Structures are given as C-alpha cells and as structure tokens.
C-alpha cells in the first residue's frame, strides 16, 4: 500500500513570494489533514478535510493560507504572500475514519515539505 | 496555550535499558492519547495509543500508561534499542467532540539510545 505522497520535499523562497504544496493521500482515505511543524515544536493542525469539505480550519491563517481538496482526493496548500515565520515543515496526513463517529483511526503522515522563507 | 506538554526535550539511555518518556496534558476533554515516532526527513509514524477508559496498553516492547487524575501519560520502551533513537511525540484528542480526529501534539522528546 502506497503511503502519503507530498511534493516538493524542499522549497526555498523569498518573503512575500507565493508557494504551493501538494499532497496525495492513501487511496480510499476520506479524511486529509495539513499540519505545520515549526522547529522544536510539535505539529499543529492547519486544516482538516472530510472528502472535499472542510471540517476544521480554525487554526489556518486565512489572510495568507488557503487549501483545497479537489474531488476529495489530492490536496494543495498555498501561502500567499509568505512571511519569515512561515518557515516550517508542512505535513500532510490522511486517515480512513469519518468525523461522524466510529473508532479512533490512525493518521498516516507523509514525509513533509520543508519550507524556508528568506 | 500548550495543552499537551513534553517537558523533557531529550533523553539518553543505554541499549537494553528502559526508556521512559513523559507527557502531561491540561484539557480534561481529551479522551484518547497517541504516541508517534519521527525519524529525520520522515513524517511521524503511529506507535501506540490508549483510550481514557484504560490505564495501560501494551504492544511488544512498548507500553503506555495513563494517569487521568494527574493528567499524565508515559511511554515505556523495554528493552531500548539503537533503532529506537528518534523524536517521540505525544498527542491527544477529544474523540467524542466536534473536531473529531484533531490531534494536539506535544513538543516532542529526542530519544538517543547508545549501543
């Protein structure tokens, strides 16, 4: 079974530039998550999708961050314009559970995209 | 507002000995807890979990203990192996809440197991 795929693995940009990250979850996983992990901290949830609908985006800085999940499969996360404090690893995860109930499911993480903003 | 805390940034143990990683939480609504392991340049991988209705869960060399009254959990690795060297994250979730599946992570503890 293929894991969660993310690209690019590394990205260096200047502040005020735009950047986009791509995620392909495990086949059949309905729930997709984007996390931000700043150096020395644990991952912080930015946005959670159930199929192509947003379940939770309460911690997404919506003035500069946007995310979409077309057709309930792949997802893209965009930052426009980037700030120095956006330097972090952006992790995508997927799980097979639904928010409506059932047993707590395991989230499977991709390798992440390391973003450096200069 | 750090709802999940891992107060030890690092831990160093000898191969064959026990590793104990600790985690504290403040939100009493959390009812499910997980440990993830992370190697460099990889995403976190699920290790073991425990529901709040239990106080212990064991899987091979890994055991997680939960003390709800103290809002504390710990991960025991016995015996420790050099391949266990990684960053360990504690995570918590309110499984019955509206933000189903939203994990709150601690800061992580770097475990180094020396041969």
Report chain A residues whose CB lies below 8 A from the CB of B43: 4, 91, 93, 109-112
* Beta strand spans in chain A (E): 5-7, 10-13, 19-24, 31-37, 44-50, 53-56, 65-68, 75-79, 88-95, 108-109, 113-117
Which residues on chain B are in Cβ contact (under 8 Å) with A98? 100
pLDDT at B19: 98
- Residue closest to A2 by CA, chosen among A31, A24, A30, A35: A24
pLDDT at B100 over 80: no
Enumerate residue ranges in chain A where pLDDT < 50.
99-103
User: What is the Cα–Cα distance from B51 to A23, expressed in whole angstroms?
Assistant: 30
Mean pLDDT score of chain B: 93
Q: How far, in Å, CA of A70 to CA of A57, rounded?
A: 16
pLDDT tens digits, B45-73? 999 999 999 999 999 999 999 999 999 99
Are B44 and A106 in contact (CB < 8 Å)? no
Helix (H, G, I), strand (E, B) or coil at A85: helix
A–B interface: beta-carbon pairs under 8 A: 67
Task: Please tell me the predicted confidence (pLDDT) of residue A102.
Answer: 38
Q: What is the largest CA-CA distance in chain B?
A: 46
In this predicted structure, what is the pLDDT of residue A100?
41
Which pLDDT value is given to residue A101? 38
pLDDT of residue A15: 95
Residues of B in contact with A47 (CB under 8 A): none
What Rg do the C-alpha atoms of chain A give, in angstroms?
14
Lowest mean pLDDT among A2-6, A7-11, B20-24, B101-105: B101-105
């Amino acid at each position: 079974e293929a894991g969660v795929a993310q690209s690019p693995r590394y990205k260096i940009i200047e502040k005020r530039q735009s950047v986009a990250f791509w995620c392909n979850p495990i086949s059949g996983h309905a729930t997709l998550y984007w996390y931000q992990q700043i150096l020395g901290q644990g991952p912080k949830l930015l946005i959670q999708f159930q199929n192509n609908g947003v379940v939770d985006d309460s911690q997404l800085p919506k003035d500069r961050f946007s995310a979409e999940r077309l057709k309930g499969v792949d997802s893209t996360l965009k930052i426009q314009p980037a700030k120095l404090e956006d330097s972090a690893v952006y992790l995508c995860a997927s799980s097979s559970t639904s928010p409506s109930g059932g047993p707590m499911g395991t989230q499977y993480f991709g390798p992440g995209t390391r973003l450096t903003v200069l | 507002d750090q709802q999940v805390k891992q107060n030890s940034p690092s831990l160093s143990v000898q191969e064959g000995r026990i590793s104990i990683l600790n985690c504290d939480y403040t939100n009493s609504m959390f009812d499910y807890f997980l440990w993830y392991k992370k190697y460099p340049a990889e995403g976190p991988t699920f290790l073991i979990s425990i529901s709040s209705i239990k106080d212990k869960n064991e899987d091979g060399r890994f055991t997680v203990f939960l003390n709800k009254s103290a809002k504390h959990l710990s991960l025991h690795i016995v015996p420790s192996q050099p391949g266990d060297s990684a960053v360990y994250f504690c995570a918590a979730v309110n499984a019955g809440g509206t933000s189903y599946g939203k994990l709150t992570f601690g800061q992580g503890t770097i475990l180094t197991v020396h041969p």
